[in-house]
Amino acid sequence: MMSNKTRKHYTEEFRAQAVELLRTGKPVSELAEELCVSTDLLYRWRRGTQVGSEGRRAVGEHSGADDLRALLRENAQLRMENDILKKAAIILGTRNPHNSAK
Give a yes or no: residue 6 inside a domain. Answer: no
Give a yes or no: residue 71 inside a domain. Answer: yes
Number of domains in the chain: 1
Confidence of residue 6 (pLDDT cuts 50, 70, 90): low
What is the domain range of residue 71? 12-92
Give a yes or no: residue 28 inside a domain. Answer: yes
Give a yes or no: residue 4 inside a domain. Answer: no
Helix %, strand %, coil % for the chain, to 5? 70, 0, 30
Give a yes or no: residue 16 inside a domain. Answer: yes
* pLDDT for 2 beyond 60: no
For the stretch 47-77, pLDDT in tens is 887 655 444 555 444 567 778 888 998 999 9
Q: What is the DSSP letter of 77?
A: H
0.95 exceeded by pTM: no
Confidence of residue 82 (pLDDT cuts 50, 70, 90): very high
Give a yes or no: residue 1 inside a domain. Answer: no
